[in-house]
Structure 1
């Protein structure tokens, strides 16, 4: 397979994968391009390579910076901004896990905590509601603990864990 074909295939696949991570397709494609680029890229280079508009590129680059997986770089004598991403895949997974935890797990845990003190005229319904949402809260807390441990782990711990599986 030629480099151009392989690069395009990877960018498309990473875009699809990004959707599973809670990142839109264009964001993931920009990230994929930065991931395989040996040097930081400008917005114009990203736009040209991915055939996207300036607005789409700017919005998604900003979002990737907010996620903590893309960095902006200024160069002396250059008016353009350059963007890059880390190449350490484990670090990327940790950062995405932290962000998803902040955006998804923390809010649902907050709601599950708030609704545990439910009461009502129908005690059977209230009890069932408490049981189900309590089980969901307990499960979510365990998942949260695993994500927290993973995000604070070092490579050796994680790879040892994988080898046990």
Structure 2
């Protein structure tokens, strides 16, 4: 590893710039932009939701409230980190000059987009009955099947997608 490559970026924002500039894959560059915006939006949503949770539970002195707040932060991290993982994997690979494999970048971008879709799918499955809507057309029967599944099944697509991200990284090294 060269001296310049070792000091190419500092922290998360630098990793995004570094991975974007070093990759030759247009799909990966698109993913970097989408991941940056989406991770920022998800972070903002979770921060505001945490503020509301704290405001709603400020009078409660129960110890389980602290656990609930901590769990909420953990869930936020478990959503944001897999969005960032493909970018960080590619940045690390280019920083260490392991290879200039555009296919690796493309595969990790694909798995990142798969995770985003899996989170959306999980959210659809876990939608409360009072917020479910009916859709006419080709998606109507699909939504009915997804709405009919138990809410806990909504965890399966994101977990599988995280395993695919990690597996793709490990197998592509």
Structure of greater relative contact order (alpha carbons < 8 Å, 6+ residues apart):
2
**TM-score clears 0.5:** no
TM-score (norm 1): 0.33
* Higher relative helix content: 2
